[in-house]
């Protein structure tokens, strides 16, 4: 049926089987399998799912929430769209399982505004699950109630940050909260809340069916299992691939059929840009961590053009509440534009690296903490091209 | 008393409330933190900023304000917490487990300096032409961190038009640092909710609904935002130039009246500690500046109590004795123009609960341009009336079109405490060294009851002293020790008191025409309440609308500003709970020294009712000059 191939997520799966398995297990057993699997959050931060679920399960509250973060906004990332479009059963069964483990009755799919075309088919799919008693009251006769609502985002990149997402759900401006407290204790409407990435949740049914130990056999020492990567840019075969953690950039590029290369941006706009000399590096939390975006640049590309594009994006998408991000991104963009005109010598870069460091250290949320990444990595890795152009 | 939490601040701007153990000695109650080299124990949930304060370690802040919920957005107060990759905002970080903190590491110093450079790069204007010069938190920080240039540039053209659409508050967003203090003041402290962040990213600005000018939104002009703005982005609409012109014009007779709160706070503008009263010094300085007469608003406060107190008794009489159900109770005080506007916008259906009595400021204006003009033999058109108020809304009040019952504008200019201090400085006067002098006659006497109008609960206490004496014919000192009605004093947001009327006497002659006897009041328990800050006012009004306890009250005093007038939007900056308490102490201490402490015993009040308002309170004449009506403004303002 499905045209994709992969070792885990893109492998054969019978809808409903993961959820049925979940209800055969106790909550503790599920947490044990997840802990054994060493599955980490696939949104980018890599927080262990077992710990997150355990903390929320342990939090005392009359109400808890499980949110699936489908606000897939990182430029160059489109793997969640594929999952929701082609494997919704994995995502939703993962959500029900999470709700069961943490003791939530309400699940929310926070769907990226630009994915509104998926809304009706996803709602239809949920309706189907309700009919099969995989969702709603007394799921599979196990006495557990859980339902899923879909909330459409309104186009702000920052709402992919979990606390900004929660603010947005509550009807406020999409702005990150101070952390601590973390959502696991004080989340949506102040209640304990799990926010998981689409891919993380989609992995859960497979782990339950085949076991945490089986899952942990894939990948590297600190990065278990597989990762969906969205490959785009200058290549023959762009698309979504399921790869084992530990794959090198060079191997990825071969998969994608990329030639005559200059650079690869790993992790989307907020990721880092590497040159050819680093193509031997591995995709892994311990080396090149990524939420899944791989953007390929060939030798025809001007890296400052690419950087300008990234920085324009961050200037546009900063929520504007904290100083380093609101003003810092503007200053970095101005610097890029000056560099394009040859207006800044390499020796004049210190204050911009200081600024980038400040943004990483002092921004309130992940947006401002990571937006200097492309600036620093491109300016450092392509300094010859930028500062010593031979016309 | 339980109220539903209708707090409007988003969770993002609230401090994480960790249950602080009642007894810090219990296990886990105290947590050891190491700040730099210093170890100390703090209660669970203490913020890093609080812990540093306790340890005597200075942390610079900008978006933090003691009165407000947390934002954690300026990133000036960041510190290094061991084990965390990024720096943490100390104002927003609750300590829940043992931590090691560094407050001056290289990372911290780099981040703070860079954040300041960024803020300054976007901050338009020059310090010397700024109303907040020498009292600006951004300026102070720049000095503290040795900012000596503009490494990230400096904005040279204003980006935004200045909004001076109201007579009360001027907003200049070119100086805004997006600290959200005004937003948090408006939405959370005051629960008015006029201000918010608009747009996003570098286009983020603080604005109103649809970015309308302030006069087209439901702003009540309380000016609490001004008090909390760290820079010159918000200030009051300053009439100093017009006042100087009037003073310099020999054909004008320029009168200034001074409210009770400015005198208890103006010393702060001259470097004195909060709570230093400079009443006599101020009188001398005002004469030196060139004001022709210096009058005490407290006289008008006494007059207000005569009118408003009589109105209360008359309402009670009509309702309780005559069974007139059209009479609205509880009666609300009406001397606070912010509160009046709040009712007009948000609860116009309760407008008739507001006392029709004008505020002291406006009553005085009407008296000055009629009674005083006659006495002094001056054409009222040549009289210029200035009111020194702790308030920005007073500037709006004196410009209300209905406030011209004398045939002239009752009060020409409202001046804040800050602006008066500026005028005194311009005149080359160092206020604390002025000799003391008295107020001018014919309004030279005022009661202590008028003075305590400046503190929350003061109007209520003043009214009760007069009303209870009128009703019982008993000295108030026999009911409350030393005439101090302590149940209505204090800083608790909402206070409630019951006073049983066990004995009644004959109505005084002044009001006997209106109310023939008080027998109907015997056995009644007078129920009164006091609230300060519109967030508390809202709780009371909602309770009344729901038929709760406060709907049974007879009289409720409400002041829009936290602490009452002494914490008003025209008072010296900074303000916080401690400063407000000091100012209140100064007012109450001064009151104890006065001979006359009841409005109706003020000889000048007795005189005005025997010579001018001869028909007594609520007479036709007093209704014409001293009472007013209100406008149904509603929440939607379409122009």
Catalytic residue chosen out of the listed positions B307, B308, B419, B461: B308
Beta strands in B242-351 (DSSP E): 253-258, 293-296, 331-332
**Radius of gyration (Cα) for chain A, nearest Å?**
21
Tell me the residues of B at the A interface, defined by beta carbons under 8 Å apart: 10-12, 16, 70-76, 78, 86-87, 89, 92-94, 96, 107, 110-111, 114-115, 118-119, 121-122, 151-153, 177-178, 180, 197, 199-204
pLDDT of residue B631: 95
In the predicted model, what is the mean pLDDT of chain B?
94
Would an 8 Å CB–CB cutoff place A317 in contact with chain B? Answer: yes
Pick the CATH number of A17-216 from 3.40.50.11540, 3.40.190.10, 3.40.50.1220, 1.10.10.10: 3.40.50.11540
**The tokens 């759900």 sit on which residue?**
A169
Degrees, nearest 5: CA angle B559-B333-B594: 80
Please tell me if residue A326 touches chain B, with a CB cutoff of 8 Å.
Answer: yes
Instruction: Read off the pLDDT of each residue in B270-278 and give the average, rounded to a whole number.
Output: 96
| Helices marked H in B217-272 | 224-228, 240-248, 260-265
Give CA–CA dist B60/B78, Å, rounded: 9
Distance of alpha carbon B471 from the chain centroid: 31
Length of chain B: 639
pLDDT in tens, A265-289: 999 999 999 999 999 999 999 999 9
**Cβ atoms of B488 and B495 closer than 8 Å:** yes
Contacts of A163 in chain B (CB under 8 A): 12
Interface test with A, best of B7, B10, B11 (most A CBs within 10 A): B11
Last residue of a domain, one of B64, B98, B116: B116
| Annotated catalytic residue B355 | yes
ipTM over 0.90: yes
- pLDDT for A343 equals 84
Dist CA B585 CA B277 (whole Å): 10
Q: Give the tens place of pLDDT for each residue, A306-345.
A: 999 999 999 999 999 999 999 999 999 999 999 998 889 9
How many other CB atoms sit within 10 Å of the CB of residue A1? 4
Q: How far apart are the C-alpha atoms of A267 and A324, rounded to whole Å?
A: 21
How many folded domains does chain B comprise? 2
* For range B377-399, the mean pLDDT: 98
pLDDT of the residue at A388: 82
Closest Cα in chain B, distance from residue A204 (Å): 29
Catalytic residue among B90, B277, B334, B355: B355
Q: What is the CA radius of gyration of chain B?
A: 26
**pLDDT (tens digit, 0 to 9) for every residue of chain A, 391 residues total?**
457 999 999 999 999 999 999 999 999 999 999 999 999 999 888 999 999 999 999 999 999 999 999 999 999 999 999 999 999 999 999 999 999 999 999 999 999 999 999 999 999 999 999 999 999 999 999 999 999 999 999 999 999 999 999 999 999 999 999 998 899 999 999 999 999 999 999 999 999 999 999 999 999 999 999 999 999 999 999 999 999 999 999 999 999 999 999 999 999 999 999 999 999 999 999 999 999 999 999 999 999 999 999 999 999 999 999 999 999 999 999 999 999 988 899 999 999 999 999 999 999 999 999 999 999 999 999 999 998 875 4
pLDDT score of A44 = 83
Residue B301 lies in a domain: yes
Give B17's pLDDT tier (boundaries 50, 70, 90).
Answer: low
Q: Which residue of A has its CA nearest to B91?
A: A178
CATH number at residue B524: 3.40.950.10
Are A268 and A77 within 8 A, CB to CB?
yes
Minimum Cα–Cα distance from A335: chain B residue: B152
Whether residue A351 lies within 8 A of chain B, CB to CB, comes out as yes
CATH number at residue B100: 3.10.20.740
Q: Within a domain: residue B496?
A: yes
Dihedral sign from CA coordinates of A168, A172, A174, A180: negative
Exposure string for A331-370, b = 16+ CB within 10 A, e = fewer: bbbbbbeebeeeebeeeebeebebbbbbbbbbbbbbbbbb
Q: What fold is seen in the domain A303-384?
A: de novo design (two linked rop proteins) (1.20.1440)
Mean per-residue pLDDT, B378-392 = 98
DSSP string across B152-180? T----S--S--B--SSSEEE-GGG-----
Are B197 and A320 in contact (CB < 8 Å)?
Answer: yes
Active site residue B308: yes
State pLDDT tens for residues A60-96: 999 999 999 999 999 999 999 999 999 999 999 999 9
Among B94, B116, B138, the domain-final residue is B116
Q: Is B75 in Cβ contact with A322 (below 8 Å)?
A: yes
Write down which residue in B116, B149, B173 finishes a domain. Answer: B116
Is B397 a catalytic site residue? Answer: yes
H or E segment to which residue B588 belongs: helix B577-592
Residue B421's pLDDT band, with cuts at 50, 70 and 90, is very high
Does residue B449 contact residue B592 with C-beta atoms inside 8 Å? no
Average the pLDDT over B409-415 and give the result: 97
Average pLDDT over residues B399-427: 96
Percent pLDDT > 70 in chain B is 95
Rounded to a whole number of angstroms, the distance from the CA of B6 to the nearest CA of chain A is: 13
**B78 and A361 in contact by Cβ < 8 A?**
yes
State which residues form the domain around B71. 12-116
| Per-residue burial over B563-574, b = 16 or more CB atoms within 10 Å of its CB, e = otherwise | bbbbbbbbbbbb
Query: Could you tell me which chain A residue has the CA closest to the CA of B121?
Result: A327
Position B202 in a domain: no
Confidence check: pLDDT of B22 > 90: no
Confidence of residue B294 (pLDDT cuts 50, 70, 90): very high
User: Which residue of chain A is at minimal alpha-carbon distance from B196?
Assistant: A173
| CATH 1.20.1420.30 is right for the domain spanning A226-298 | no
pLDDT tops 70 at residue B565: yes
Active site annotation includes B438: no
> Each residue of B209-265: pLDDT tens digit?
999 999 999 999 999 999 999 999 999 999 999 999 999 999 999 999 999 999 999
In a domain, B524, yes or no: yes
How is chain A split into domains, by residue range? Answer: 17-216, 226-298, 303-384
Q: How many CB atoms lie within 10 A of CB A191?
A: 18
């Amino acid at each position: 049926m499905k045209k994709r191939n992969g070792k885990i997520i893109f492998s054969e799966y019978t809808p409903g089987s993961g959820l049925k398995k979940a209800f055969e297990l106790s909550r503790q057993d599920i947490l044990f399998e997840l802990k054994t699997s060493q599955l980490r959050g696939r949104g980018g931060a890599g927080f262990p799912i077992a710990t997150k679920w355990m903390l929320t399960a342990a939090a005392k509250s009359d109400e808890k929430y499980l949110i699936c973060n489908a606000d897939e906004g990182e430029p160059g990332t489109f793997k969640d769209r594929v999952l929701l479009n082609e494997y919704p059963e994995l995502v939703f069964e993962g959500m029900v399982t999470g709700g069961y483990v943490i003791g939530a009755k309400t699940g929310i799919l926070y769907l990226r505004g630009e994915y509104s075309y998926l809304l009706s088919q996803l709602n239809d799919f949920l309706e189907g699950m309700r009919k099969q008693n995989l969702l709603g009251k007394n799921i599979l006769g196990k006495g557990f109630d859980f339902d899923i609502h879909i909330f459409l985002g309104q186009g702000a990149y920052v709402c992919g940050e979990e606390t900004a997402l929660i603010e947005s759900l509550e009807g406020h401006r999409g702005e990150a909260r101070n952390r601590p407290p973390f959502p696991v204790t004080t989340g949506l409407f102040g209640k304990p809340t799990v926010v998981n990435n689409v891919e993380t949740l989609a992995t859960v049914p497979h782990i339950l069916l085949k076991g945490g130990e089986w899952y942990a056999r894939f990948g590297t020492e600190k990065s278990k299992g597989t990762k969906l990567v969205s490959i785009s840019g200058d290549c023959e075969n762009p698309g979504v691939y399921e790869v084992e953690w530990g794959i090198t950039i060079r191997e990825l590029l071969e998969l994608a059929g990329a030639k005559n290369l200059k650079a690869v941006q790993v992790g989307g706009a907020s990721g880092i840009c590497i040159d050819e000399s680093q193509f031997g590096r591995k995709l892994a939390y311990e080396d090149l961590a990524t939420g899944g975006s791989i953007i390929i640049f060939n030798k025809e590309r001007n890296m400052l053009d690419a950087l300008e594009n990234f920085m324009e994006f961050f200037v546009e998408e900063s929520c504007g509440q904290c100083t380093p991000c609101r003003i810092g991104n503007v200053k970095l963009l101005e610097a890029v534009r000056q560099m394009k005109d040859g207006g800044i010598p390499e020796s004049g870069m210190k204050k911009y690296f200081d600024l980038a460091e400040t943004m990483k250290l002092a921004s309130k949320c992940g947006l401002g903490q990571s937006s200097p990444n492309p600036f620093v990595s491109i300016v450092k890795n392509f300094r010859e091209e930028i500062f010593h152009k031979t016309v | 008393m339980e109220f539903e939490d209708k707090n409007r601040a988003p969770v993002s701007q609230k401090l994480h409330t960790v249950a602080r153990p009642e007894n810090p000695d219990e296990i886990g109650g105290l947590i050891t933190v190491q700040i730099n080299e210093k170890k100390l124990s703090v209660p669970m949930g203490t913020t890093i900023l609080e812990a540093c304060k306790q340890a005597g370690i200075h942390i610079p802040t900008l978006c933090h304000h003691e009165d407000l919920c947390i934002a954690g957005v300026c990133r000036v107060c960041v510190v290094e917490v061991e084990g965390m990759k990024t720096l943490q905002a100390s104002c927003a970080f609750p300590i829940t487990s043992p931590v090691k903190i560094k407050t001056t590491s290289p990372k911290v110093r780099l981040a703070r300096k860079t954040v300041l450079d960024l803020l300054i790069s976007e901050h338009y204007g020059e310090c010397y032409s700024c109303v907040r010069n020498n009292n600006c938190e951004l300026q102070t920080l720049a000095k503290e961190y040795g900012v000596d240039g503009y490494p990230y540039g400096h904005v040279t053209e204003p980006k935004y038009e200045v909004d001076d659409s109201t007579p009360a508050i001027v907003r200049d967003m070119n100086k805004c640092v997006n600290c959200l203090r005004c937003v948090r003041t408006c939405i959370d402290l005051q629960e008015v909710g006029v201000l918010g962040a608009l747009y996003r990213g570098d286009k983020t600005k603080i604005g109103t609904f649809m970015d309308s000018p302030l006069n087209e939104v439901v702003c009540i002009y309380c000016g609490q935002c001004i008090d909390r703005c760290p820079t010159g982005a918000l200030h009051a609409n300053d009439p100093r130039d017009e006042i100087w012109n009037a003073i310099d014009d020999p054909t004008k007779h320029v009168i200034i009246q001074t409210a009770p709160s400015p005198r208890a706070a103006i010393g702060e503008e001259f470097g004195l500690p909060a709570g230093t009263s400079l009443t006599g010094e101020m009188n001398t300085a005002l004469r030196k500046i060139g004001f022709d007469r210096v009058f005490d608003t407290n006289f008008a406060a006494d007059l207000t109590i005569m009118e408003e107190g009589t109105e209360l008794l008359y309402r009670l009489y009509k309702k309780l004795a005559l069974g007139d159900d059209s009479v609205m109770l509880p009666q609300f005080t009406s001397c606070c123009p912010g509160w009046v506007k709040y009712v007009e916008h948000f609860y116009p259906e309760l407008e008739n609960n507001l006392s029709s009595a004008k505020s002291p400021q406006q009553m005085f204006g009407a008296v000055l341009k009629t009674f005083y003009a006659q006495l002094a033999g001056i054409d009222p058109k040549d009289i210029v009336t200035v009111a020194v108020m702790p308030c920005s809304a007073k500037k709006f009040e004196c410009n209300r079109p209905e406030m011209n019952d004398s045939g002239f504008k009752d009060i020409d200019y409202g001046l804040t405490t800050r602006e008066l201090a500026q005028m005194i400085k311009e005149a080359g006067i160092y206020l604390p060294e002025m000799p003391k002098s008295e107020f001018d006659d014919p309004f030279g006497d005022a009661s202590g009851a008028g003075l305590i109008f400046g503190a929350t609960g003061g109007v209520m206490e003043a009214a009760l002293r007069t009303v209870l004496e009128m009703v019982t014919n008993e000295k108030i000192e026999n009911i409350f020790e030393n005439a101090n009605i302590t149940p209505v004093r204090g800083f608790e947001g909402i206070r409630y008191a019951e006073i049983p009327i066990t004995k009644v006497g004959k109505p005084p002659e002044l009001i006997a025409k209106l109310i023939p006897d008080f027998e109907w009041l015997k056995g009644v328990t007078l129920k009164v309440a006091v609230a300060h800050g519109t967030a508390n006012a809202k709780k009371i009004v909602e309770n009344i609308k729901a038929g709760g306890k406060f709907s049974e009250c007879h009289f409720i005093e409400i002041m829009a500003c936290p602490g009452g007038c002494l914490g008003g939007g025209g008072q010296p900056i900074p303000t916080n709970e401690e400063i407000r308490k000091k100012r209140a102490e100064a007012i109450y201490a001064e009151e104890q020294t006065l001979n006359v402490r009841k409005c109706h015993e003020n000889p000048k009040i007795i005189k005005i009712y025997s010579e001018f308002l001869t028909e007594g309170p609520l007479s036709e004449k007093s209704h014409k000059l001293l009472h007013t009506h209100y406008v149904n403004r509603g929440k939607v303002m379409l122009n």
